[in-house]
Amino acid sequence: MKNDGNPSNGHGTERQDSDAHKFDDKSAARPANSDAARHSDGSATQSDDALDPFDPFDPFEARLSEGFKRLDTLLPESPPGLYQFHNLVQQTKLQEKRRSVRDLVLFLATAILILAGWIISSALDPEVFIQLLLIFSALSLAGGAIAVVQGMRKNRGEISQ
Amino acid sequence: MSESQWITAAKRGDDDALAHLLQENYLLVLKYLLKVTLNRANAEDLTQDTMIRAIQKIHLYDEKQSKFSTWLITIATRLYLDARRKRQRESTFLAEEAGAARNLRWQVEQAADSWPELMDALADLQSDVRTAIILKHYYGYAYDEIAEMMKIPSGTVKSRIHHGLQILRKESLQSEE
């Protein structure tokens, strides 16, 4: 499971021994279906990258990598114990369950309230009930139209970006 | 057990398997977020948030699309960019970020290590430019993958990285002189 920085894993090649840590991070995060993952030498990672300015022998890149490695020295060498992750998983799942139950109760309560309101108003004053029904239908249609237009604008904005 | 088996078990609801996967990838995410945020406290908070989001969304993870670590890096990237967007409204944000980078520099130097000047220039870059450079340069992702992670067009990623590296190279040359 844990990446050992072995270049034979097919995700890339360590540039030099001192870059072992860098390789660890890189190879662990390599996407399974990426172009880069298909290259075994790790050098020609993106053939389509015309602007790709990276040169493994560039002193600038070496300094940048060195800087990143210095940052890693500030962090612990090993992750917290498994029980802490186990607790986190259980707590998160418990909170999710509680949230779902709360949302369901809230939804049911609101639905019952609205339904009761409709039933009472239709029984007490059918005319007002029909008027309210028409108003709500018009509002719903208007709301739907606004949502559709906003969605179209958003899509257009994303495409033109 | 292989990672694939752990993932299958985790998606079936096995807490132990999910905890194991998260533990395996914890340091990877933390190291990534430290490079991106240049702030240890923020990196730790965001790593915790990434783990929680992964627990909540594990059923949506598709093994055929990406590696588990890549999926976590994607979550972490989006959480970071969202958090930054929210906090950008606060006027103190930039000063706070600069302070955090200075603090990191102090910590590195305390550990009897020298702090490359280039990291100061990196800290001065906009966070989305810095994130794209780190994902490309350090983690070796393709432009399309970075674009998907950051939810921006691939061309924008290319130009941001190109522009960011130009600035860094310029700073690097200046510090050499």
Q: For residues A10 and A31, give the distance between their C-alpha atoms in angstroms, rounded to a whole number.
A: 12
Between residues A52 and A85, the one the model is more confident about: A85
Q: Is A1 on the interface with B (CB under 8 A)?
A: yes
Quick check: A31 and B136 CB within 8 A? no
Give the residue from chain A lying closest to B28, CA to CA. Answer: A25
Please list the pLDDT of chain B residue by residue as tens digits (177 residues): 788 899 999 999 899 999 999 999 999 999 999 999 888 888 999 999 999 999 999 999 988 888 999 999 999 999 999 888 877 665 555 566 666 667 766 666 666 566 667 777 888 888 889 899 999 988 889 999 999 999 999 999 999 999 988 888 887 777 666
Measured distance CA(B6)–CA(B33) in Å, rounded = 24
Cβ of B40 within 8 Å of Cβ of A74? The answer is yes
Chain A residue at shortest CA distance from B65: A33
CA A17 to chain centre: 34
> Which amino acid is present at B121?
A
Contact of A72 with chain B, judged by CB distance below 8 Å, is answered with yes
Q: What's residue B114's pLDDT?
A: 60
Q: How far is CA A144 from CA A111, A148, A151, in A?
A: 20, 6, 11
> pLDDT at position A74, please?
79
Confidence at A40, pLDDT banded by 50, 70, 90: very low
The CA dihedral of A146, A150, A156, A161, to the nearest 10 degrees, is 160
Chain-centroid distance of CA B80 in Å reads: 7
pLDDT, residue B109, reads: 63
Taking the C-alpha atoms of residue B35 and residue B49, their distance in angstroms, rounded to an integer, is 17
- What ipTM did this prediction achieve? 0.79
Q: Is the pLDDT of residue A5 over 70?
A: no
> CA of B90, closest CA in chain A: separation in Å?
26
Taking the Cβ of residue A33 and every Cβ of chain B, the question of whether any pair is shorter than 8 Å is answered with yes
Alpha carbons A40 and A28: distance in angstroms, whole number: 15
Q: Say how far apart CA B110 and CA A75 lie, in whole Å.
A: 14
What per-residue confidence (pLDDT) applies to A36? 38
* Residue A7 · residue A13 · CB < 8 Å: yes
C-alpha distances in Å from residue B8, one per residue of A71, B56, B60, B177: 34, 15, 12, 55
B22 Ramachandran zone, left/alpha/beta (phi>0; psi -120 to 50) = alpha
Whether the model clears a pTM of 0.95, i.e. scores above it, the answer is no
pLDDT digits (tens, 9 = 90+) for A54-101: 566 677 777 788 788 878 887 888 899 999 999 999 999 999 999 999
